[in-house]
Amino acid sequence: MSIPSRSGLFGAAAASAHGHGMTSQRARDRLVATLRTEGIKDPRVLDVIRTTPRHLFIDEALASRAYENTALPIGLDQTISQPWVVARMTELLIENGVPRRVLEIGTGSGYQAAVLANLVETVYTVERIEELLRKARRLFRSMKIENIRSRHDDGNIGWPAEAPFDAIVLTAAGESVPRALNEQLADGGVLVAPLGPPGAQRLVRISREGDEWRHEDLEPVSFVPLLGGIG
């Protein structure tokens, strides 16, 4: 099911966080130009990347690198994904129609959820590390993003009470997709995830049509491991 683009959802917050120097709008425009040359084509995704203040999602000491096309540490052995990866995963989720309800496994900094929130009706995000989730929630509130629901839990079990979901995205890599997540994907839905061992991970898109599952093996990527439990 397609819905109109939610561009501008947090426009006021983004406008107040335009930054300066290496966090300015010019820096964001350069990042978008880089993403375009590296194969990101969807104008909706490029527009959201352009308007989302990535520097707010990382430590202030790294703010000058916020609009480089690279992953950055966010503490607790976690990273904020490379912008190209965020853009590519988002593009894959919405390519064949914008999903209404998206489940994200691994909130992390909150950046991927914020990008998705500007495109879909509701984002449900699960994070196993409580400290990261608290930071992300504070940021969502300060940016006045009201269509993200979050939960502190083991991402391997998803969010069964809110299932099924039109789309699911994993921001950490396992050898395979946890069975619970497959079961929470709606008929006609799409799941995007990095799969495989460290050093040999690939981005995979799985589309469900009834009892049929179509797997697309895409680009090589590098993600932190999908762990169980909570912390």
Contact 92, 42 (CB under 8 A): no
Q: How confident is the model at residue 8, as a pLDDT?
A: 44
Q: Is residue 228 scored above 80 in pLDDT?
A: yes
Q: At what angle do helices 43-51 and 83-94 cross, to 10 degrees?
A: 140
Strand-pairing partners, residue 205, are 192, 216
> What domains appear along the chain, each with residue ranges and CATH number?
11-221 (3.40.50.150)
Reference 203, options 222, 189, 218, 224; nearest CA is 218
pLDDT tens across 175-208, in order? 999 999 999 999 999 999 999 998 899 999 999 9
Look at residue 111 in the predicted model and tell me its pLDDT: 98
Query: In this structure, what token pair is assigned to residue 69?
Result: 């096309």
What pTM value is reported for the model? 0.90
Q: Choose the catalytic residue: 7, 16, 64, 81.
A: 81
Q: Is 207 a catalytic residue?
A: no
Say if residues 119 and 147 touch (Cβ distance below 8 Å). no
Q: What is the pLDDT of residue 20?
A: 54
What average pLDDT does the structure give for the chain?
Answer: 91
φ, ψ of residue 138 in degrees (nearest 5): -60, -40
Instruction: Answer yes or no: is pLDDT of 52 > 90.
Output: yes
Asked if residue 71 has pLDDT above 90, the reply is yes
pLDDT band at 112 (very low <50, low <70, confident <90, very high): very high
